[in-house]
Amino acid sequence: LPKRRGVLKTVQLHARSRHAFAPERTTASSTESFESVVPQPLPDPPAAPQPSHAPLPQVSHAAKRLLDAQNTGNSVRVAEAVRDFRQNVVNPSVREFNIALQAIQATRRPGEPLNLMLDTYNDMLRHSLLPNWHTYIALLDSLTARDFEVHQAITALEVRIKHRNLTGFKQETNHQADLKRIAMLRSETNFKSAMSLFETVISLPSPRPFPSYTFTSLLRSCAIHANIDAAIHVFAQHEKRSDTLPSILVFLEMIRVYTNADQLPGAEEIFAEYRQALKNGRVHAPWGRDGTDPNRLNLLVWNQMIETYFRFNRPDKAVALVEQMLDAHIGEHQVVADPPPVSTATFTTILTGFCQLDDVETALVWFDRLLDQQATSQDPYEPTGVPMKPDTVAWGAMLDALAVKGKIQDLNRIFHVRLSDPPSRVRNTERTIVYAANMANLDSMDDQNLDRTLTWLRERVLNTPEFQIKFRMNLTDEIATAYLNRKMYDKAAAIMFAYIGNFFKHSTAPPHSLPFFLQSYALARASDTLPLADMKFGDWQLVLMAADTFDSIVPNPENPLPPDFAYQGLPSLIRDLATYKVPLDNMNKVLVRHVVLQLTRRLGAEGMLALIEETGFNRIVNYDPQQYVNALNEALEDSVSVPETIDSGYTSDVPLKLDSYLSRTLMTTIKESSQDDMEAAVDFAFTKLKEGVESGRAPSVAPLVILIEWLGRLGRLEDMHFAYSVGQNTLQTIKNPIAQKGSWFAFENAMLVGCAQSGDMEGAQQYRRRIIANGGAPSAEAYGALIYNVKDTTDDATNALELFKESQTYRVPPTQFLYNNIIAKLAKARKAEYALWLFQQMKGADIEASSVTYGTIIGACARVGDVQSAEMLFDEMTQSKKFKPRIPAYNTMMQMYTTVKLDRARALYYYEEMRKVNIAPSAHTYRLLIDAYGSIQPVDLEGLNSTWEKLKADKTVPVQDIHYASLLNAHGCVSKDLDKAIEIFNNMEIMPNALVYEALFNVFVAHHRIDLIQQYITKMQLEGVRMTAYVANSLIKGYSLLDNVEEARRLFESLEDPPEGVAAPNNSPSNMSPTVDQSTPVYREPSTWEAMVRAELGSGNRDGALVLLQRLKARQVSFRMPSCYFLADGFSPRQYPEAVYNRISGILVDH
């Protein structure tokens, strides 16, 4: 105790002179590292009473629906039930409205507005129904809860604005958006409405008493709005209650009311009254229902009073309270200690108080002494009784204050200590504040200190995976620029080499970083500070990649070059490579090819050849002339500064006048329309465009680009080309050549997207080639649209992959849309390993995976039987913070366990998981359930029949061909019940199609009853059901079982091979044309070749099987694809992928 008292004496004296603190003691408390908890001003109030789920006598159907919706805990379900109740119940009761209000209250997520609740209440009044006590309590509690949420949101936004101003990372759009958001939040009148309702309730005859938490919530709102009169009025009503005493939280909020109203005497009087009431046992202070110790609430009161004294510039009184708290102890029979022992939050309040008084020196003395402590507390409100190490809030306050005061040395000193904590504990905001403060102070440093500081910032402060790649790159650009400004070119180049190299590895190098890298290289090269002779082959290739990518970027005035840009272009770099004998021809072939293309466009063919001759790199254009020279000639023929337009129906020699009002109209109409209303919105926008053109007016580039893309999506190709022609006309009004060319690229890209989305792949490829030939590259959205619409070829995945690789060759930063589409193509082709690699690349590039992404990659794993990866990815998806349940992923997991790895229990597990997130089964889900019960041994007939009855009873899902096909397989093939299968087929409630006949024929084959097939083939023909390759496969198997290989051969030869490069059409419902007739040829599938090879081998005719394989291989001879699927220069796809041939030829190994 003497040592303890001595410390306090020091504290007291220093506080009254310089307000400093220097404790010199240790504690026996735990010294384990901890995750600091941000102190909250008030624990959440107890939940409002929930309506009883046990229905009262004669509960109405409407009330039951509302209660059922509430029981789900799903706010969307509740909103739907409430809207249904309000629209369809003719004579609603007060009780039903109260149940609706309480259901909304119980499921409303924090931060959601009260629109639905207030609309429901107003609807109640429109029915001339008189609200009762339950109505008012539900409204009061919701209004005060919303008022507190608004207060928290405003505080968070103001802190964010403060940190933006402090760090200098201020984007005007974000800043204005936050200010607008704050103004909108402040316009809400929740407190006024709550007090109005409060007055209404207390004026009722014989009103029921308010719950205690309602008083507390009202006082909390009074404190937020610094309204003393309202607080006294509420407090007086509370004092009228004889059945309860005021709680600790009531006194806490009253102190806050007076503090926020700048009334220190009032706050002190409430605090003294509270202590006296506590001493006299006149405070309601039980343990909380959630286990909250009343001593914690008492600590909140004392900490608030300490904060109050600082607010009124009385640090001496604040420290005096701390002195009392350090002497405190909880007696054996004492429920609430007065004063309470100190906690970590107490010292955080002291530190924050000194910082707010701008007495940073004293705050730092306190902070340094806290750093000397050995122990930490995992809970800021744990009554430790002694000082502890500072928590996260204390760290934030101290760093902010030192940065604002420009005390860089102290800032860096304590942050060195902070960096010894686990990286996850150091907040990004702290790092950016330290970074910004140091960068602002560079001018005062000599070169040595500047280098030391920048190295520390780069290697320690910014070196965290918590920063997004793009943000970290921006800061690295600033560090490189700082070196360049000091003419320390070698340092700048070294930094940029490391960072650009890392980004190129992940194909995510942001174009705006490349000029800084090339500037660093050029200046270091010119000043002879770059050790060129020591550069390795990989370093030179990195410089060439950066230069090539930079020359490929479409000029953008929003990304200006660094001042006094020193880089002189690719020709100078090629000469450097020659000077230092770097073997250019050994570099990446795609890179070298593209470099030659860039040189040709810049210098012309003769100039390029002259440079190559001068530098001795002749091999790069001589060793593969077919691949390079022809491509160069094609590029040269198409390359112009602003290319000629494609005639699209609108021509005029007079430039249209840009109309800003028309631009806003088009942009607002499309941008603010929902997906459901988009067709009408696009129609309206196009009408406005035509009206404008007729009067000589046109919109600007951005809205016109959006309109072109949407017209394409809706299949309005003629209108799309008209809008494109208008855009070409507006190019005449753009005088800046860089902006003009950028606008031309934007229109071409929009046409590419529009054509691809409409299915006009030949048109899309035309615009793609024009963009590339003129030195640009399509956008990620354009490549995504191209990949998505590569379909109905014999190798969609390879063709799509060529497009994706092309996009990366041109350094197009991938997006979620692009990744989703290429992963989907690979997944469908069972290329799971490549799909997984791209998925990891996507996450490494800080591109967020959506539910669609996860569903696709899970499907890739499921198709190849990688159960472990599929389950791991599914769990990862469901645990994601932004997870939105979608049915495909659940269906995929079910399908994996019904087709790849048969496990009924696991399939049903994922079905139940799907139902838990309120997803209704689709037609595909029902098929999988039929397979789960009927296709996995032992067959569960009860479950199968139950599923079938549920399907027939489900009005949202019609019984389809896929369900009958699965049912036939379950009974006929798995359960071996031929009669039942025939009965099911003969009693179908829909017309059978080829899929159902295929399933039936498979049943006959399984039972070796080929004699039954012919009568059903006749029936199939009479009903006009067209033969397909898959039906033929079943028949070939059947004929083979009868040793009738001749009939199998006849059937096989009656089929035809599909057109070159195109997948066999009309073999499944998904790709069958609605106009196809019986005379249209039936095209073979790869599985048809496989069935026939097996038939030949089954008959002992190995030579016949070899002849078939030779014919199949002949189908792999290279040819030119239809122009709509033409991809890269020289690309020549095969008829069937090699994997298909290998799979079929592998059959011979078993024979």
The answer, yes or no, to whether residue 1121 has pLDDT greater than 70, is no
CA angle (496 as vertex; 491, 498 as ends), nearest 5: 100
The answer, yes or no, to whether residue 813 has pLDDT greater than 90, is no
C-alpha to C-alpha distances, 841 to 288, 492, 749, 847, 870, nearest whole angstrom: 49, 28, 25, 9, 18
63 φ, ψ (degrees, to nearest 5):
-65, -40
The answer, yes or no, to whether residue 562 has pLDDT greater than 90, is no
In terms of Cα–Cα distance, which of 319, 217, 247, 813 is closest to 553? 813
Which residues does 833 contact at the CB level (< 8 Å), separation at least 6?
none
The answer, yes or no, to whether residue 48 has pLDDT greater than 70, is no
Which residues does 540 contact at the CB level (< 8 Å), separation at least 6?
577, 580, 582
With cut-offs at 50, 70 and 90, classify the pLDDT of residue 401. Answer: very high
The answer, yes or no, to whether residue 629 has pLDDT greater than 70, is no
Instruction: Evaluate whether 815 touches 1084 at the Cβ level (below 8 Å).
Output: no
Average pLDDT over residues 772-776: 82
The answer, yes or no, to whether residue 560 has pLDDT greater than 90, is no
865: region left, alpha or beta (phi > 0 left; psi from -120 to 50 alpha):
left
Say what the pLDDT of residue 22 is: 33
Q: Hey, is 1062 helix, strand or coil?
A: strand
Dist CA 1124 CA 767 (whole Å): 12
Say what the pLDDT of residue 681 is: 87
Dist CA 541 CA 597 (whole Å): 17
| Domain range list for the chain | 406-464, 642-776, 779-884, 1026-1150
Say what the pLDDT of residue 154 is: 92
The answer, yes or no, to whether residue 265 has pLDDT greater than 90, is yes
Which residues does 915 contact at the CB level (< 8 Å), separation at least 6?
none
The answer, yes or no, to whether residue 228 has pLDDT greater than 60, is yes
SS (H, E, C) 1091-1139: HHHHHHHHCCCHHHHHHHHHHHHHCCCCCCCCHHHCCCCCCCCCCCCHH
In terms of Cα–Cα distance, which of 372, 355, 374, 375 is closest to 364? 355
Dist CA 590 CA 620 (whole Å): 11
The answer, yes or no, to whether residue 219 has pLDDT greater than 70, is yes
Mean pLDDT over each residue of the chain, to the nearest integer: 80
Say what the pLDDT of residue 1079 is: 62
Say what the pLDDT of residue 631 is: 43
Among residues of the chain, what percentage have pLDDT more than 90?
A: 29
C-alpha to C-alpha distances, 1122 to 786, 1061, 1062, 1133, nearest whole angstrom: 15, 7, 9, 11
C-alpha to C-alpha distances, 898 to 828, 862, 902, 928, 931, nearest whole angstrom: 18, 11, 5, 7, 6
Which pairs from 589-595 meet CB under 8 Å and 24+ separation? 590/809, 591/541, 591/544, 591/545, 591/548, 592/620, 593/627, 593/628, 593/631, 594/548, 594/552, 594/809, 594/810, 595/544, 595/548, 595/570
pLDDT per position as a tens digit, 152-168: 989 988 888 887 777 66
Average pLDDT over residues 971-1000: 92
Dist CA 870 CA 863 (whole Å): 10
Instruction: Evaluate whether 253 touches 219 at the Cβ level (below 8 Å).
Output: yes
The answer, yes or no, to whether residue 707 has pLDDT greater than 60, is yes
The answer, yes or no, to whether residue 347 has pLDDT greater than 80, is yes
Average pLDDT over residues 290-294: 63
Q: Hey, is 407 helix, strand or coil?
A: coil
Dist CA 1078 CA 1026 (whole Å): 6
Highest averaged pLDDT of the listed ranges 373-387, 838-852, 1104-1118: 373-387
Average pLDDT over residues 572-586: 88
Say what the pLDDT of residue 269 is: 95
Average pLDDT over residues 166-171: 61
With cut-offs at 50, 70 and 90, classify the pLDDT of residue 139. Answer: very high
Report field, pTM of the whole predicted structure over 0.75: no
User: What is the DSSP track for 322-357?
Assistant: HHHHHT----TT-SS-SSPPP-HHHHHHHHHHHHHT
C-alpha to C-alpha distances, 814 to 843, 848, 1123, nearest whole angstrom: 11, 12, 26
Average pLDDT over residues 372-385: 86
The answer, yes or no, to whether residue 624 has pLDDT greater than 80, is no
Average pLDDT over residues 374-396: 88
Dist CA 228 CA 216 (whole Å): 15
Q: Which residues of 794-814 are buried (b: 16+ CB within 10 A; e: fewer)?
A: bbbbbbbbbbbebbebbbbbb
Highest averaged pLDDT of the listed ranges 46-60, 279-293, 443-457, 864-878: 443-457
With cut-offs at 50, 70 and 90, classify the pLDDT of residue 192. Answer: very high
Place of tokens 């709102």: 221
Dist CA 137 CA 785 (whole Å): 54
Instruction: Evaluate whether 1098 touches 1044 at the Cβ level (below 8 Å).
Output: no
In terms of Cα–Cα distance, which of 151, 305, 137, 315 is closest to 225? 151
Dist CA 777 CA 552 (whole Å): 8
pLDDT per position as a tens digit, 480-511: 878 878 888 778 777 777 666 665 654 444 45
Say what the pLDDT of residue 1132 is: 35
Q: H or E element: which one contains 658?
A: strand 657-658
pLDDT per position as a tens digit, 1066-1105: 666 555 554 455 567 788 888 888 888 888 888 888 888 8
C-alpha to C-alpha distances, 1111 to 801, 904, 1036, 1089, nearest whole angstrom: 27, 42, 18, 10
Q: H or E element: which one contains 1036?
A: helix 1029-1041
With cut-offs at 50, 70 and 90, classify the pLDDT of residue 855. Answer: confident
SS (H, E, C) 180-242: HHHHHHHCCCHHHHHHHHHHHHHCCCCCCCCCHHHHHHHHHHHHHCCCHHHHHHHHHHHHCCC
Which pairs from 912-919 meet CB under 8 Å and 24+ separation? 914/885, 914/887, 914/890, 917/885, 918/72, 918/74, 918/77, 918/885, 919/885, 919/886, 919/887, 919/890
Average pLDDT over residues 782-799: 78
Largest CA distance in the chain: 110
C-alpha to C-alpha distances, 1030 to 127, 305, 506, 1003, 1146, nearest whole angstrom: 63, 81, 43, 14, 21
C-alpha to C-alpha distances, 952 to 931, 963, 990, nearest whole angstrom: 16, 11, 12
Place of tokens 């009169």: 229
Estimate to the nearest angstrom the gap between the alpha carbon of 538 and the chain centroid: 35
Which residues does 675 contact at the CB level (< 8 Å), separation at least 6?
none
Say what the pLDDT of residue 434 is: 93
Say what the pLDDT of residue 94 is: 92
Instruction: Evaluate whether 727 touches 705 at the Cβ level (below 8 Å).
Output: yes
Say what the pLDDT of residue 633 is: 44
Average pLDDT over residues 469-477: 72
Rounding to the nearest 10 degrees, give the CA dihedral for residues 1038, 1042, 1047, 1051. 10
Classify domain 779-884 by CATH architecture: Alpha Horseshoe (1.25)
Average pLDDT over residues 743-757: 90
Say what the pLDDT of residue 42 is: 31
Q: Hey, is 288 helix, strand or coil?
A: coil
With cut-offs at 50, 70 and 90, classify the pLDDT of residue 138. Answer: very high
Dist CA 1024 CA 1107 (whole Å): 34
Say what the pLDDT of residue 1134 is: 38
DSSP E strands: which ranges in 685-801?
697-698
**Is 558 or 901 the better-scoring residue by pLDDT?**
901
The answer, yes or no, to whether residue 307 has pLDDT greater than 90, is yes
Say what the pLDDT of residue 552 is: 65
**Is 830 or 198 the better-scoring residue by pLDDT?**
198
Dist CA 701 CA 680 (whole Å): 22
Q: H or E element: which one contains 629?
A: helix 625-638
User: Residue 984 is encoded by which pair of tokens?
Assistant: 């099911």
Place of tokens 């860039």: 598
Instruction: Evaluate whether 802 touches 1131 at the Cβ level (below 8 Å).
Output: yes
The answer, yes or no, to whether residue 516 has pLDDT greater than 80, is no
Say what the pLDDT of residue 36 is: 26
